Structure 1
Amino acid sequence: MKNLIILSLLLTCGTVACAQDATVKEIAAINPPGTALAPLRYLASDELKGRGIDRPEINTAAQYIADQFKSFGVKTVPGANNYFQEFQLVTASPGKTGKATIGQLSFTLGKDFVQMTPVDAIIKFPLEYVGRVTEAGLNTIDVKGKIIMIDLGVADDDLSFRKDYGQLPALRALLTKKGAVALAARFMGKTLSWSGLSAHFNEPHLIQPDETTFLNTFIINNTPELQAILSKGYKTDAEFVVTGTMERSVNLKNVIGYIKGTDSQLKDQYVLLTSHYDHLGVGKAKMEDGKLDSIYNGARDNASGTTAVIDAARYFSKYPPARSMLFITYTAEEKGLIGSSYYASHPIVPLKQIIYNLNIDNASYDDTRLISLVGLGRTTADKHIKKACAAYGMTVNGDPTGGQLFFASDNYPLAKKGVPAPTFSFGMKTFGPEIFKRYHQLSDEVGNMDLNYMMKFIGAYILAAKYIADDPQPATWSTGDQLEKAGQELYGNK
């Protein structure tokens, strides 16, 4: 009997291995390198001028993705305009002049402080400094009729800044509800990071629909003088004056399509595969990697991710899994997760039918033996992702920032609504110099990518999606995860 059991187990394992090998071969046959990498080469080409949302080439990129979907037989989603979810938002340009006064200290707009939502303002009210605070902490403070000053992060710790910055929308919503008149956030990161932050807010940027209902928010760079007065506790009048802001409308589109599943019981459930197809566009010309350049091609970020989604659509159109597959390439991620936030608030396929979202967003890589799963340990699909990566000779690690990247990509707008949604990324042992060598740089081009690694990345992504879509049990948030309750509420299984 014992020998029969062992033989049975060996046969079962052999069958599973054979099925896995067969799928790997199918993926390779459907997506040979020349075919699989063609979208990467095109989307990251100079012809598309960096896919900035303020340039006409962004529409060329969207049409290209839609044409790819159509050529595979991917279906259009009822409620979309062909393969597009179209919407319009406002781009706001920062004020031409502005000044802030706190006690005897003065700050200049664009240099010492920035405004998160550009709008002309004259605000003069009592200011109360409350330090680094959470939603729970704000609930214990009387904020009505006050400018509330908080800390973003702790001194010279950029990771803590990223975490606090990700919580700003929730704090702004709560302060608005409780009757505060403005929020002043003290920047506690590094000097170099302040340069990047101020540069971002000194450019026109898209306004999220819910931002228009939030109170005015300013971010102020920390100085020794400001530190001195706040260290003693601070309650006094403060004034913020901003003039010369401008607004214009901008038309945007997510690209969306689906493939129907084969299982009669599971076909109304969807596994969602996503990436963003926009990038930074064209900037000032400068020397980088030995050449004068001005186009942010965004090969890694995120033509690579969009390529993997296109290749997944090509594969699943020929080999549909049990559940239906939904494909979305988002617009305007670089402007603040705009496309994914819009879909989360205006879903065409209801979120409760989307049982899992495997997002892709890439910065760069420092280890081609790895896949970094941002959200490792947070959902029950980890086993499928690890198994798929192992089939391509790779292992899986987690977020190299300790969890902060989870809030910084297109997985998050759906995740906070309850959809289990990690981000599948290139291998990063650390989020350090090797990553920043290419991340948001002019040199992020196809010519300096490891394309053999890119092929393994694509294959592992498709295989992981297949395992998740074919599993009779839907993937869920892990027990005890901070978003488990949101998932239970979304799917009605509290």
Structure 2
Amino acid sequence: MKKTLLFSGLLLFIGSACSPLTDKEKTDNTVNKETIKEHIYYLASDEMKGRDTGSPEILKAADYIADQLKAYGAKPVPGADGYFQAVPIRKKSPAESATLDFSGKNFELGTNLLVLEGQSEKVEGEIVFLNYALAADYEGKDVEGKIVFAKIGDGEATDTRQILQFSRQKYQLALENGAAGIVEFYNLPTSFEQVGARFRSTSLSIDPDGDEGRIIPQLWLKDADNSTQKFMMTRSIKRANIEIKGMVNELTKDKNVLAMIEGTDPELKDEFIMFSAHYDHVGIGRPDETGDSIYNGTRDNAIGTVTVLSAAENIGKYPMRRSALFVLYTGEEKGLIGSRWMADNPIIPLNEIVFCWNSDNAGYNDTTVSTVIGLERFTVVPQLIKDANTAYGLTAIDDPAGEQGLFDRSDNVSFARKGIPAPTYSLGFRAFDGDVTKYYHKPGDNPETVDYDYLFKFFSSYVLASRLIGNADETPFWIESDKYYETGKALYGKD
């Protein structure tokens, strides 16, 4: 009898040991509060100086993230530069001083001169007047090495945005035709001082060419009554001199971080679940009442970054049926730069990415919920996300602050616009107020100010939801009434 009981017990033990782990058990085996804390404390440390786009510190953060992905078993994506995708961001700081002179007339930055493009340099050249300096005005004209002078706009546009679009065209035309510089006479209704405010701060933008090609000065010369233009037209003025000081115009070394883990299902592994978050923040800014000027960005978005790392750690140990693509973006705070670049220059074809599981945060004011921006806009996933939250004592709710337009303010929208189902998983809030606004883009958003017991539940529910989505029989899609439904049908070739 004893032998029979012993044998039965042994069979029960063996059967239990050999039974496959559930997705929840796999989640419990990897999500660890101390690991979460360690990652957040590093990424949001004062040492990282707010992880500003274009800074040395964001490059350190990128290397750290790549090292973690590699350690978790995630592999480089074919076509990437190791674990990186370079993002060609041009950083342009305002000139400290600038002068223009011709025929004894002198003009200075701020008084009657604005610098739109250029870098610190001296330029001297022959003057050529080209009406509006649009394409037709260059026909039959030799401007090689010369400084082009032109009227602003096209003679009809008065809206500042349109005028700036024309100015960008004119800059490119001057560059392509070999000009040494271009000066436009500014005589529009919007005050020169008001429009000048646009050019007094450092700007970041995508440079599609991504090279260190030739840069020429582009100036706006204040000429409200057209007197300077008339002076130039009625005299034989041969040459002009331009000098710009203290202006930096260069490409940064910013990059998206990415890696992948192949799925286990022979068919479903061709579908990718993309786990994404931005890892930049806003850097150093105005000090608070304590004198702290480092905007550490714990909630926005060290937590989102570590959420994705937690998924990578889990899937590296327990791959899903579908393949996983992990992407951490630079430049979100500067206009979704990193995600826009990847969406327009995908390394994995967009129609192979069936779901973008983005994680971004402003803060939280309810530790009983997770807030999923766009939760009910998709098939399949809403119930899976709700079940995952329930498993850890949380409730998944949809966006309660529609007035904030949050769906269109994070990296998910770069892919939603392409047709990819793309919600954003956020810390729990019932309204965009209270402790959310208390820490949002503030120096006080430090690692010690968050509730790590809540974060453990939040991270666990994200990872479990990830597994449920990645292993589901049915592929997520937009609900039929969604504005991106038709775009998604076109992307995936659905009838």
TM-score over 0.5 for the alignment?
Answer: yes
Q: What's 1:44 paired with?
A: 44
Alignment of 1:263-412 (within 5 A): 263-284=265-286, 286-288=287-289, 291-380=290-379, 381-395=381-395, 396-402=397-403, 404-412=405-413
Does residue 478 in structure 1 map to residue 479 in structure 2?
yes
CA distance in 2, matches of 1:407, 1:118: 29
CA contact (8 A) 2:27 2:460 kept: yes
Other structure's SS at 1:481 match: coil
Q: What's 1:147 paired with?
A: 157
Q: 1:415 to 1:209 in 2, by over 3 A?
A: farther
* Structure 1 residue 332: Cα displacement: 1.2
Alignment of 1:146-225 (within 5 A): 146-147=156-157, 149=159, 202-209=200-207
* Structure 1 residue 22: Cα displacement: 3.9
Q: What's 1:179 paired with?
A: none
Q: 1:46 to 1:479 in 2, by over 3 A?
A: same
Q: 1:41 to 1:318 in 2, by over 3 A?
A: same
CA contact (8 A) 1:367 1:427 kept: yes
Q: What's 1:493 paired with?
A: 494
Q: Which runs of 5+ in 2 are unaligned?
A: 1-18, 99-108, 119-130, 133-152, 170-185, 191-195, 211-224, 227-242
Q: What's 1:217 paired with?
A: none
CA distance in 2, matches of 1:304, 1:402: 24
CA distance in 2, matches of 1:366, 1:20: 38
Other structure's SS at 1:52 match: coil
* Structure 1 residue 200: Cα displacement: 9.5
Moved more, 411-420 or 81-90: 81-90
> What letter corresponds to residue 259 of structure 2 in structure 1?
G
> What letter corresponds to residue 33 of structure 1 in structure 2?
K
How far does the alpha carbon of each residue in 1:415-445 deviate from its partner, in whole angstroms, 9 at most, with x for none? 1011111111111211124311100000001
How far does the alpha carbon of each residue in 1:189-245 deviate from its partner, in whole angstroms, 9 at most, with x for none? xxxxxxxxx999853121134799xxxxxxxxxxxxxxxxxxxxxxxx99xxxx977
Moved more, 55-64 or 25-34: 25-34
How far does the alpha carbon of each residue in 1:251-285 deviate from its partner, in whole angstroms, 9 at most, with x for none? 2111100111010010011000000111112234x
CA distance in 1, matches of 2:402, 2:20: 32
Q: 1:147 to 1:96 in 2, by over 3 A?
A: farther
Q: 1:292 to 1:246 in 2, by over 3 A?
A: closer
CA distance in 2, matches of 1:201, 1:399: 37
**Equivalences, count:** 382
Q: What's 1:71 paired with?
A: 71
Bigger radius of gyration among the two: 2
> What letter corresponds to residue 92 of structure 1 in structure 2?
K
Q: Which runs of 4+ in 1 moved over 6 A?
A: 95-98, 198-201
CA distance in 2, matches of 1:468, 1:145: 56
* Structure 1 residue 334: Cα displacement: 1.0
Other structure's SS at 1:417 match: coil
CA distance in 2, matches of 1:148, 1:261: 55
Q: 1:472 to 1:364 in 2, by over 3 A?
A: same
CA distance in 2, matches of 1:76, 1:424: 25
CA contact (8 A) 2:376 2:398 kept: no
CA distance in 2, matches of 1:46, 1:378: 38
CA distance in 2, matches of 1:94, 1:336: 19
Q: Which runs of 5+ in 1 are unaligned?
A: 1-18, 99-108, 126-142, 151-167, 177-181, 187-197, 213-236
Q: 1:275 to 1:200 in 2, by over 3 A?
A: farther
> What letter corresponds to residue 70 of structure 2 in structure 1?
K
Q: What's 2:141 paired with?
A: none
CA distance in 1, matches of 2:283, 2:197: 15
Q: What's 2:455 paired with?
A: 454
* Structure 1 residue 147: Cα displacement: 3.0
* Structure 1 residue 300: Cα displacement: 0.6
> What letter corresponds to residue 63 of structure 1 in structure 2?
D
CA contact (8 A) 1:373 1:422 kept: yes
> What letter corresponds to residue 157 of structure 2 in structure 1?
I
With structure 2 as the length reference, what TM-score do the two structures score? 0.68
Q: 1:468 to 1:246 in 2, by over 3 A?
A: same
> What letter corresponds to residue 78 of structure 1 in structure 2?
P
Moved more, 37-46 or 349-358: 37-46
Q: What's 2:93 paired with?
A: 93
CA contact (8 A) 1:370 1:397 kept: no
CA contact (8 A) 2:91 2:205 kept: yes
CA distance in 2, matches of 1:146, 1:92: 29
* Structure 1 residue 36: Cα displacement: 2.8
CA contact (8 A) 1:357 1:421 kept: yes
Q: 1:84 to 1:97 in 2, by over 3 A?
A: same
CA contact (8 A) 2:373 2:406 kept: yes
How far does the alpha carbon of each residue in 1:144-169 deviate from its partner, in whole angstroms, 9 at most, with x for none? 9643659xxxxxxxxxxxxxxxxx99
> What letter corresponds to residue 92 of structure 2 in structure 1?
A
* Structure 1 residue 376: Cα displacement: 2.5
Q: 1:391 to 1:83 in 2, by over 3 A?
A: same
Structure with greater strand share of residues: 1
Q: 1:432 to 1:94 in 2, by over 3 A?
A: farther
Other structure's SS at 1:441 match: coil
CA distance in 2, matches of 1:209, 1:417: 21
Calculate the aligned-residue CA RMSD, in Å.
4.0
CA contact (8 A) 1:374 1:403 kept: no
Alignment of 1:409-420 (within 5 A): 409-420=410-421
> What letter corresponds to residue 277 of structure 1 in structure 2?
Y
Q: 1:37 to 1:206 in 2, by over 3 A?
A: same
CA distance in 2, matches of 1:351, 1:148: 40
Q: 1:452 to 1:287 in 2, by over 3 A?
A: same
* Structure 1 residue 404: Cα displacement: 0.8
Other structure's SS at 1:281 match: coil
Other structure's SS at 1:292 match: coil
Q: What's 1:138 paired with?
A: none
CA distance in 1, matches of 2:470, 2:29: 20
Identity of aligned residues (%): 39
CA contact (8 A) 1:270 1:325 kept: yes
CA contact (8 A) 1:93 1:118 kept: no
* Structure 1 residue 50: Cα displacement: 1.4
> What letter corresponds to residue 79 of structure 1 in structure 2?
G
CA contact (8 A) 1:95 1:118 kept: no
CA contact (8 A) 1:375 1:403 kept: no
Q: What's 1:8 paired with?
A: none
CA distance in 1, matches of 2:67, 2:479: 37
CA distance in 2, matches of 1:145, 1:486: 38
